[in-house]
Amino acid sequence: MAKPTQEFKQNIMKQSAISEVKQTLYTFSIMDEQFKQLAELDLNKLHIQYLHLMQLSEDIDDPNFKKSLERFADDVLDTKSLYLNQLLGLSRKTSVVNQDIISELESIINDRGKEKDQ
């Protein structure tokens, strides 16, 4: 009698762990969506700053300074854009890996359930 009770407890604990992992993934997906929105706002803000710098450079007569300012604006925008895109890519990859982990955990539980039935 003790063994079925122990197995029942183990199954409850496993299901609870999987539910907690799913809840964590759900939280991460919400955070990922919020991060994407923040990244878009950040890129828009940078673009506005870039346009402002370009307007300032139009009024400058010194060609070397103007060219340096344009290069600086381009480099900053490119760097920030690459950084944000890299973070978004890592976030998406993490989400895929997390889904794989859940599938594997559920598969283990299902396989053990089948073994007990046989």
What is the tens place of the pLDDT at every residue in 83-117?
777 877 777 777 677 777 777 777 877 776 666 66
Is the distance from CB of 105 to CB of 21 less than 8 angstroms? yes
CB neighbourhood size of 73 (10 A): 19
DSSP for residue 118: -
What is the tens place of the pLDDT at every residue in 44-74?
887 888 788 778 778 778 888 878 877 887 7
Predicted TM-score (pTM) of the model is: 0.50
Element (H, E) at 95: helix 63-117
Domain coordinates in residue numbering, the chain: 25-111
Q: Is 44 helix (H, G, I), strand (E, B) or coil?
A: helix
d(CA 110, CA 22): 17
